[in-house]
A and B are shown apart, each in its own frame.
Chain A
Amino acid sequence: MRNKFILTVSLMLIIALGFYGQHWVAKTTTSQAKIQNSRMVPTIFVPGSEATINRFDDLFATINAKGAPHSVLKVQVSTSGQLTFLGSINANDRQPFIVIGFEDNQDGYDHIKKQASWLAKALDTLQDRYHFQTFSAVGHSNGGLDWTIYLEKYHADDDFNIPILMTLGTPFNFSESSLQRRTEMLNDLISGNNQLPKDLTMYSVAGTEDYTDDGIVPVQSVIAGKYIYQKAVKSYTQITVSGDNAQHSSLPENPEVVSLIESNILKPLARSDRKQ
């Protein structure tokens, strides 16, 4: 009698788990197949501290004026992790632009760490909605720090393939102008650099107004990125731009930066898309 009861309960449990398992496998497989087969390769931009999701509007306008326009989607992440979407991605757009901004966009290491965790959540949600696996990343100022922390702490190769990261005026050593004085954040980022994707191509762009800084971020702080990325990723390139639009806030609109984004991100990804 006891055995009959145990076996009946077990059989019912197995049948229930079988239905659940079948549902889970079907759901996961459909989603994974969409992601695997997706040919969309967006470029995802993260603005710096105090900047809004409109930070890259001029850059997008400049690029879109030159050829086939890229659709633009803006995502605002609230402090509770809620996402608000503005704009849309055209169904046939293989290289859309996505901007991820944060309600808490304050400066400071603690805020940046939170922003990196929100960035991870936003990326997961975007993948669920648009089923892409490969994207390139651009971070302006502290947006580059958000990307670096994301890559070290939250990124998994199985989830996303990120071939290119470009940071614009990113202060890897905050406002320190000497490479001898490393901030807590820089030390953390250096010690975690073994988690960076090995196949990443990284471009760190610095602006100079007077050979020492871009008006806000010391060049030496941008250069400190080499301690994090050099020899930890596939390639690390340090680029310095100068001229009228080399001021920190103007970097995204700097003609050299626009040209760098086009030649180093958009064209290589378009070529890899055609090869698929």
Chain B
Amino acid sequence: MLKTLVNQSQRWDNIVYQHATMQAVKTALQQLRPILVIDVYAHLLFRLIFAPDNFIGRMVDNYPPITKVISNHMRIGLTFLDAAIVMIFVIALTQHYLTTKGITNTSLPILTNFIAIYLLLVGKNQIPTYNTTQYLLMSVTVLFSVTTYCWFQKKWVNPDTSPYAYRYLVWAVLIILMSWLLRQLIAIPHFQTTISVLLSKTFFTTFWGLLAVSILSPLLFVFGFALPSELTDDQTTLNTVIANLDAVLSTGHKVLPYPENLYSTYGAFTLFGGIGNTLAISLLLLFATSRKHQKLGLITWFPSLFDDNTLLLAGVPLFLRPLMLVPMLLVSVISQLIGYVAIATHFIQPVVYPTPMNIPNLLLPTIASTTPIRSTLVTVAVFILSIVIYRPFVHRLTEGGSYEK
């Protein structure tokens, strides 16, 4: 059964990733990796050591105060690094796609896409905040742009025309205008806010509501949508979670208004290392047979431990990858189901308390519930099960073989 699923996933994977377009995306993501490693580790160090509310500072007494000036400069530096990643991805994707189409002079399309993506992602007087989940938006925009460029060149321009001729410039202006208009239409922050508001509804404390989240969240992540923090790392601001905390603090009631909610099931059992318990993927990569994948496991391990799976998304890659989406969905649904059943049968008390910022999610059930030992047992069971589910898929990915008959 599992073998059939692995085979089927790989078939879909081959269909998607054998396409020239996706090959270009994959190459662009690979070229992105070195600067992405720097970026992810810089962000990790900032969160743990240099941010005004840094993790180590909260743990250690007499920690040297990191002045506002230093941390503000670092924050600006990190934002520029984020912007650089977005732009390198755009340049690499444009370059690779056009080269495979036999177009050698790629300077105008690169410049055009650079400006187009800048206008698409940058708000008024702002520099873009890098978000891994914007790959879909960037890829679609860039691929639309380069496809039209190829078509335009084939239909409307002589081979001898200068790469900066009026006709090409008209194309460039149209693409930039389209991107600017798209920015007005899609309004990324509005999409995130809408999801946040929606998640506050009590429907998401019911079995079907939680099941919907456990399915939709990995799908949106792998398909490259910008997700709100309630789905990636922090559910404690949801009204239902606050209601539980209020009940515990004011009356000490063991009967909570919403025992099964996004924090106690989804947040506590499906985000080890990021959406879909991807810490398990990093662990399996550490023990892969190929050195390339071992190295990937090594560089992704510590960020994953602190719930940042950005490197896996671009490094494996997980982006639009059926071979990894299938186990991720299975892990997400089954892990949440285990958490739900454990709470519903009163085997564990749900997580209620907020935890220190940036503490690994793996510890959440243990430290934020009133049944630490039982919650730890459930955590260990969920993590082992995640490894078992991911194992054949990661094995197929790292071995690189064709699907078994």
**Contact surface of A with B, Cβ cutoff 8 Å:** 2-3, 6-7, 10, 13-14, 17-18, 20-22, 24-25, 28-29, 32-33, 36-37
Contact = CB atoms under 8 A, between A and B. Distances in A.
A106 B193 CA distance: 45
Given A6-B298, A6-B301, A29-B249, A14 B363 contact: yes
A102 B362 CA distance: 46
Q: Contact size class for B?
A: 20 to 34
Nearest to B242: A158
A37 B251 CA distance: 8
A119 B256 CA distance: 37
B276 interface: no
Contacts of A13: 305
Contacts of A37: 249-250
Nearest to A13: B305
A14 B362 contact: yes
A237 to B, nearest CB: 31
A34 to B, nearest CB: 9
B248 to A, nearest CB: 8
A11 B356 CA distance: 19
18 contacts: A7-B286, A14-B305, A14-B362, A14-B363, A17-B360, A17-B363, A18-B363, A20-B59, A25-B353, A25-B354, A25-B355, A25-B368, A28-B354, A29-B249, A32-B249, A33-B249, A33-B250, A36-B250
Contact of B356 (A6, A14, A24, A33): A24
Among A7, A25, A29, A33, max chain B CB count under 10 A is at A25
Interface in B159-208: none
A3 B289 CA distance: 13
A7 B301 CA distance: 10
A26 to B, nearest CB: 9
Interface of B: 58-59, 246, 248-250, 252, 286-287, 298, 301-302, 305, 353-356, 359-360, 362-363, 366-368, 372
Given A18-B366, A20-B356, A24-B367, 17 more contacts: A6-B298, A10-B305, A14-B360, A14-B363, A17-B359, A17-B360, A21-B355, A21-B363, A22-B367, A24-B356, A25-B354, A25-B355, A28-B353, A33-B249, A33-B252, A36-B246, A37-B250
A3 B287 contact: yes
B363 A24 contact: no
Nearest to B251: A37
Contacts of B58: 24
